[in-house]
Amino acid sequence: MEVIVKPKGPIVIEGPVTLRDPEGNEITPPPKQREGRIKLCGCGRSKIRPFCDGSHKETDDQAV
């Protein structure tokens, strides 16, 4: 597994990973996510958090 933190963008996870909520339930990535890769929101603006929806492109702020 590889984790890439992009400035002003998403946190990209390449490779097999299971994402779980605080109760331990598996969180299924939205259909637009590519198999074997997920993008997590790094800016806090995504409407589909914890996943990235591209909202970071609408601002000049750094990711949080």
Distance between the two ends of the chain, CA-based, in angstroms? 22
pLDDT digits (tens, 9 = 90+) for 2-15: 999 988 889 999 99
* Domain 1-14+34-64, CATH number (from 1.10.3470, 3.40.5, 3.90.550, 3.40.50): 3.40.5
CA distance 37 to 49: 16
Strand partners, 12: 4, 39
**How far does Cα 45 stand from its chain's mean position?**
11
Judge if pTM exceeds 0.95: no
Residue ranges in the chain whose pLDDT is less than 50: 63
Note whether 48 and 61 are within 8 A (CB): no
